[in-house]
Amino acid sequence: MSNERTHRVAVIGGDGIGPEVTAAALEVVRAAGVALSTTSYELGAERYLKDGFVLDDATLEELRGFDAIMLGAVGPAIGDTRIPGGVLERGLLLRLRFGLDLYINYRPFRGVAGSLAEGCEFAIVRENTEGPYAGEGGILRRGTPQEVATQGSVNTRFGVERCVRYAFERAASLASPTLTLVHKTNVLTFAGDLWSRVVNEVAVEFPEVAVDYNHVDAACIYLVENPQRYGVIVTDNLFGDILSDLAGAVTGGIGFAASANLNPARTGASLFEPVHGAAHDIAGSGKANPLAAVSSAVLMLEHLDEVEAAQRIARAVADFDGDVTALGTDGVTKNLIGRL
Ligand code: NAD
Ligand code: IPM
Ligand code: MN
Mean local confidence (pLDDT), 279-292: 97
Catalytic residues: 133, 184, 217, 241, 245
Rounded to the nearest integer, the mean pLDDT of the chain is 97
Cα 5 to averaged position of ligand 2 atoms, centre (Å): 32
Neighbours of 186 (CB within 10 A): 9
Report how far residue 257's alpha carbon sits from residue 187's, in angstroms, rounded to the nearest whole number: 30
The predicted pLDDT at position 1 comes to: 52
| Mutation pick for ligand 2 pocket among 125, 241, 246, 296 (CB with most ligand atoms within 8 Å) | 241
Please work out whether the CB of residue 15 comes within 6 Å of at least one atom of ligand 2: no
Is the shortest distance between the CB of 89 and ligand 2 below 6 Å?
yes
Q: Say if residues 289 and 253 touch (Cβ distance below 8 Å).
A: yes
To the nearest 10°, the Cα dihedral for 45, 102, 274, 85? 30
Distance CA 228, CA 253 (A): 17
Q: What pLDDT, in 10s, does the model give residues 79-138?
A: 999 999 889 999 999 999 999 999 999 999 999 999 999 999 999 999 999 999 999 999
Which ligand sits closest to the CA of 45?
A: 1
Average pLDDT over residues 202-225: 98
CB 230 within 8 A of CB 194: no
Average pLDDT estimate for 309-315:
98
Q: How far apart are CA 7 and CA 68, in angstroms?
A: 8
Give the pLDDT band of residue 3 (cuts 50, 70, 90): low
Could you tell me the pLDDT band of residue 7, with boundaries at 50, 70 and 90? very high
b/e burial code for range 268-304 (CB count within 10 A of at least 16 → b): bbbbbbbbbbbbbebbeeebbbbbbbbbbbbbbbbbb
Distances (CA, A) of 327 to 84, 218, 287: 36, 37, 8
- Mutation choice for ligand 2 from 71, 93, 109, CB with most ligand atoms inside 8 A: 93
Interval between CA 160 and ligand 2 midpoint (Å) = 19
CA distance 207 to 88: 42
As a whole number, mean pLDDT of residues 151-160 equals 98
CA of 240 to the centre of ligand 2 (A): 10
Which residues form the pocket of ligand 1, taking CB atoms under 6 Å from any ligand atom?
17, 21, 73-76, 78, 89, 93, 254-255, 273, 276-279, 281-282, 288-289, 292
The C-alpha torsion from 83 through 86 and 91 to 97, rounded to 10°, is 140
Mutation test of ligand 1: which of 55, 251, 276 has the most ligand atoms closer than 8 Å to its C-beta? Answer: 276
Q: How far apart are alpha carbons 18 and 77 in whole angstroms?
A: 12
Q: Rounded CA gap, 267 and 294, in Å?
A: 25
